[in-house]
Amino acid sequence: MKLWVPAEVLWIFAGILGLLTLASLVVTFLRRGDAEGRHAELASRVNSWWVMVGIFALAVSIRRDAAIAFFAFLSFLALKEYLSLIPTRRADRRVLFWVYLAVPVQYLWVAQGWYHMFLIFIPVWCFLGVATRMVLKGETRDFLRAVGTLHWGLMTMVFALSHLAYLLVLPDGGHQPKAHGAALLLFVVLLTELNDVLQYVWGRTLGRHKVIESVSPKKTVEGLLGGALSTTLVAYFLAPLLTPLTPAHAIAVGLMIGFGGFIGDVTISALKRDLGIKDSGSLIPGHGGILDRVDSLLFTAPLYFHFLKYFYF
């Protein structure tokens, strides 16, 4: 079988598997002789990482259109979780149906490499279309809340996430003959998820000062800075392997991912706090729902994408 991804991507996947193996060994060591099950949550979290990395590697490596379809499905799951969590109006049942249809259409533009339509379909066409469909229904009670929350969902779960898929077709223009879409994608996904883990580890070990207590009481300045800086360090070393980024740009992107990921994370925390829930779902054992996992990507994917697009493509 011929994979479409270059060797560098496979090497990085091999490295990730090495890290996961190490994590599993550490968890096994921690749990040895631990009858109280104190690390059960950690163990299920690491196990879920294995599953997620496996699915992601498989989805991304085989063919490009399969990878795009995978992100369309991810958007669908995230949007479904979001629409299930927020208050909705009975009058908008059919509107919600149309909102879901935006997912395949947006990813169709991605697969076609139609950049202009990819950019405006949700901010312009869906923005106007959803409002039109809703106002024609004639229900004015909670109208602003409903139209606002639906558009926010489309912008984050569909528009922002679809930037990940567009990375796959970004090198098609030929400006950077050596760049590969899968490598560009792997760079931002790996660093974003690594940043989440590093911020957690730094926060747990050195965290003293709360950073944004009213939204996320466990987040600390030490976690944020330690995570963002170590992510930047990894970005600096990984960039030449996977991206056309210059060293200075790699540092800029590392910081953007470090801090952007944090903002994405706490934005979804604020949303959950507003709705009065803890986890967005139970799809991923140890992590919560899809939103709990893609929250940071909602910010890092568009930031990284447009940085690349402006300077390189």
DSSP secondary structure code for residue 157 in this structure: I
Strand partners, 288: 284
Of the pair 33, 87, the CB lying nearest other proteins is at 87
Number of residues engaging other proteins in binding (CB under 8 A): 24
User: Which one among 10, 17, 197, 283 touches other proteins, defined by CB under 8 A?
Assistant: 283
Write out the binding residues for other proteins, residues 78-117 only, by CB under 8 A: 80-81, 83-90, 93-94, 96-97, 100
Q: Which is nearer to other proteins, 100 or 200 (CB)?
A: 100
Chain Cα centroid distance, residue 107:
16
**Binding-site member from 142, 212, 229, 307 for other proteins (CB under 8 A):** 142
How many CB atoms within 10 Å of residue 61?
Answer: 18
Which stretch in 161-169, 252-260, 275-283, 293-301 sits in contact with other proteins by CB under 8 A? 275-283
**Identity of the residue, 90 or 208, whose beta carbon is nearer to other proteins in the bound complex:** 90
282 binds other proteins (CB under 8 A): yes
Cβ neighbours of residue 222 closer than 8 Å, sequence gap 6 or more:
202, 203, 206, 207, 208, 209
The answer to whether the CB of 180 falls within 8 A of the CB of 5 is yes
Q: Which of 14, 25, 30, 275 binds other proteins (CB under 8 A)?
A: 275
Alpha-carbon gap, residue 201 to 230, rounded angstroms: 11
Contact 161, 153 (CB under 8 A): no
Cβ neighbours of residue 109 closer than 8 Å, sequence gap 6 or more: 117, 118, 121
Part in contact with other proteins (CB under 8 A); list of ranges 74-82, 124-132, 158-166, 254-262: 74-82
User: Does 277 participate in binding other proteins (rule CB under 8 A)?
Assistant: yes
**Is-contact 250 243, C-beta < 8 A?**
yes
Stretch that binds other proteins, among 8-16, 51-59, 263-271, 278-286 (CB under 8 A): 278-286
Binding site for other proteins (CB under 8 A): 76-77, 80-81, 83-90, 93-94, 96-97, 100, 142, 275-277, 281-283
